[in-house]
Amino acid sequence: MSITKEAELIGMKRVSEAVAYTLKEMRNYARPGMTTKQLDDHGAKILADMGARSAPYVTYGFPGYTCISVNNEFCHGIPSDRRILREGDLVNIDVSAELDGFWSDNGGSFVLGEDVNRHQQLVDASKEILRKAIDNIRGGVRIADIGYLMETEARKRGYKVIRNLTGHGVGRSLHEEPSEIANYRDRLNLTRFKKNSVVAIETFISTASTYAETLRDGWTMVGNKGGFMAQHEHTIVVTDGLPMILTEMNGIWN
């Protein structure tokens, strides 16, 4: 969407704070020995208490209120009573929701407890790349140029990017134009970021794979060549200067 009046900005701030707070609290709540279903239930209660509705549940009938992916699961992991979190797991939580007709999206990967499996370097790379990408977004900048920056930064660190997962426009629905904000230079994409537009910027930084494939459950995605992936996401408003980060409360850069 494009912000055209103060009421729209207020609406986007409210829903963005709801998803950002939920993500932060879920990350703080996560413990080894807990199931991903317990973690999802915690997030669902926070969203409900804030008057927000889970976007994947409402929009797609997703079997959970948040997406929780663990280790080799890249994204869209289904919360489960059978999936028990363990020390050193690479966990990704993606929280998106609707509140009063406005939609926002954010997510983040983190290492649970002690980094016994050595995932922290990947997580840090994803955070750093997201920050650099957002710092370079302005009205008029080509989307493909930001994708090039993200892939270049990933390669510098010895990583790859997932080419079939992208950021997207958001605001009046979960996915809007621009429909694809890729992590690589898509030479066919001549679209530029527009001032006052609302977009969800996401990293998809991988150790081995370049494409994500859907498992038989119809939701969970893993890498075509295995390995691990870290994702971080903010919903922002594009300006003439540094973007306004609506989901900054999630603390993924802390």
Is residue 100 part of an annotated ligand binding site?
no
> How far apart are alpha carbons 9 and 213 in whole angstroms?
36
Is residue 49 part of an annotated ligand binding site?
no
**Beta-ladder partners of 92:** 69, 109
For residue 199, give both structure tokens.
Answer: 């977009």
Q: Kindly report each contact of residues 5-12 with a partner whose C-beta sits within 8 Å and lies 24 or more positions away, as own/partner.
A: 8/102, 9/237, 11/99, 11/100, 11/101, 11/102, 12/102, 12/104, 12/171, 12/198, 12/235, 12/237, 12/246
Is residue 233 part of an annotated ligand binding site?
yes
Taking a C-beta distance cutoff of 8 angstroms, is the pair 167, 75 a contact? no
Taking a C-beta distance cutoff of 8 angstroms, is the pair 62, 219 a contact? yes
> How far apart are alpha carbons 77 and 219 in whole angstroms?
7
Query: Side chain identity at 231, as an amino acid letter?
Result: Q
Is residue 105 part of an annotated ligand binding site?
yes
Residue given tokens 């840090």 in the structure block: 124
Tally Cβ neighbours within 10 Å of residue 37: 17
Is residue 175 part of an annotated ligand binding site?
yes
> How far apart are alpha carbons 204 and 161 in whole angstroms?
6
Question: Which residue ranges make up the annotated binding site for substrate?
Answer: 76, 175
Question: Which residue ranges make up the annotated binding site?
Answer: 76, 94, 105, 168, 175, 202, 233
Question: Which residue ranges make up the annotated binding site for a divalent metal cation?
Answer: 94, 105, 168, 202, 233
